[in-house]
Structure 1
Amino acid sequence: MRFDAVLFDCDGVLVDSESITCGVLRDMLQDLGWTLTLQECMDIFIGKMVADERVRIEAETGKPFTQEWLAAFRQRRNETLDAHIVAIPNVHAAVQHLHAATQGRIACASGADRPKIELMLSRVGLLPHFEGRIFSGHEMPRSKPFPDVYLAAAAHLGVASERCAVVEDTTVGVRAGVAAGATVFAYAPLGDGRALLDVGAHAVFTDMKQLVGVLS
């Protein structure tokens, strides 16, 4: 393999969570007075921390963004994820192969909070491959699109970021991987990866069955 380590985003790369999370968020924003379709909600929030959109949420709802509301969102989100989360198709085989090929030098580097990451990976049976190598943007000085979470993961694995492959699915995440100096491979299951290439992805693939091949 061309790389010494592989760093995975979580939402949309390891687990099919984006529509579940944004469905809960859309419903709770609706309760505050901001009406969005699911697609509009996904377009605004995917790849970002909800709190980073505090100013816009307050402007659209006319209500203060509180820690109590954020905690309620996370609780409802986690309950819904626990009930409905599934893995991205074909990701288990890819992760198992890369875990073996890199002698365990894989990590999950996500913009999500740690309880959410661990809940999802545990629920779909991927946690054993990443335990002890999970990095959350919430625990970094800056979250994506800044490179902090990817730099922390590479440092923990003892690998220069330039020797890392990053697997991402959003423009925010691709920017973070590129800023870290890694080579970014973009998962675009619907086939339109132009926006991901435009922000620096090295290549786009559409099925996790292809991941090992594109990294080789």
Structure 2
Amino acid sequence: MTPVQRFQAVLFDCDGVLVDSEVITNGVLRGMLHELGWPISQAECVERFIGRALTDEFDVIEEHTGVRPDGAWLLEFRARRNAALAVDLEPIPGAVAAVEAVAAAFDGRIACASGADRAKIELQLSKIGLVGAFGEHVYSGMETPRSKPAPDVYLAAAAGLGVDPRECAVVEDTVAGVSAGVAAGATVFAYAPSSLAATPPEALRAAGAARVFTDMAELPALLGTRAPRHP
């Protein structure tokens, strides 16, 4: 028997959910922070910056380096980041098949809602062959008043699809992202693989994730189950 579909649409984060980009991007950032005089470790760089908009962390960078990043520094970071992603980016295992299955099950009512800048999102979706799956429903947190953990980008994605955010499933992998989905009123499914950049499952649950899973191949079936919903 086909499971009862309890959502109207599915909203996907991008980094760490669709593409294995976090270590690549974070490595570029760490190198540039070293250049500014902050000998930040890999573990600390992952903990401090993954899942958050870099522009929201300029105060932290200035505190540790005495230098406040400006527009030119940000452009240089994005150029180096995009060059690295263009060479080394790979999809999260099983993500492409999962998106295609979910898109078919939900009659195309899916969106990609990322905290990253649009150029990065589109580069990454193109690299893994998912541009067509999302079509015009790609949303950047850089184009909303507030970035994650605020709910703005998920509210924009739900509005773009013409659905109530409370009837959406959100697929996330960070505390900031889970918090954003919960604040939007959605039910959050958190992906927690075993990797350096992955957020521990207990932190995702504490942030309000309704379900935590470790394999993207599980997602289509999970979206048809009656998982407990966060109040």
Fold shared per TM-score above 0.5 = yes
> Does the alignment pair 1:73 with 2:77?
yes
Counterpart of 2:211 in structure 1 is 203
1:138, distance to aligned residue in structure 2 (A): 0.3
1:40 to 2:48 alignment: no
Counterpart-to-counterpart distance in 1, 2:110 and 2:18: 13
Who is 1:15 aligned against?
19
Task: Give the equivalent residue in structure 2 for 1:169.
Answer: 173
Extract structure 1 runs of 4+ deviating beyond 4 A. none
What's 1:50 paired with? 54
Alignment of 1:39-118 (within 5 A): 39-118=43-122
Structure 2: stretches of 5+ with no match in the other structure = 225-231
Structure 1 spans left out of the alignment, 5+ residues:
none
Q: In the TM superposition, what are the counterparts of 1:82-161 in structure 2 within 5 Å? A: 82-161=86-165
Among the aligned pairs, what percent are the same residue?
A: 59
User: How many Å apart are 1:193 and its aligned residue?
Assistant: 0.6
Structure 1 match to 2:192: 188
- Kindly state the Cα deviation for residue 128 of structure 1 after the two structures are TM-superposed: 1.0
Q: Does the 8 Å contact 2:96/2:128 carry over to 1?
A: no
Q: How many residues are aligned here?
A: 216
For the residue of structure 2 that corresponds to 1:89, the secondary structure is: coil
Deviation at residue 52 of structure 1 after TM alignment: 0.5
Let me know the Cα RMSD of the aligned residues. Answer: 0.9
3-state DSSP class of the match of 2:91?
Answer: coil
Counterpart residue type for residue 93 of structure 1: A
Q: Which residue of the partner structure matches residue 228 of structure 2? A: none
Kept in 2: contact 1:19–1:38 (CA 8 A): no
Taking the aligned partners of 1:49 and 1:162, their CA distance within structure 2 comes to 24
Partner amino acid, structure 1, of 2:67: K
**Offset, 1:159:** 0.7
Letter of the structure 2 residue corresponding to residue 76 of structure 1: R
Quote the Cα distance in structure 2 between the aligned partners of 1:88 and 1:163: 26
- Whether the aligned pair in 2 keeps the contact of 1:108 and 1:134 (CA below 8 Å) is yes
CA distance in 2, matches of 1:151, 1:64: 31
Contact 1:17–1:86 (8 Å) recurs in 2: yes
Inter-partner Cα distance in structure 1 for 2:210 and 2:27: 31
TM-score, normalised by the number of residues in structure 2: 0.92
Cα shift at 1:64? 2.5
Native 8 Å contact 2:173 2:190 kept in 1? yes
CA contact (8 A) 1:168 1:184 kept: yes
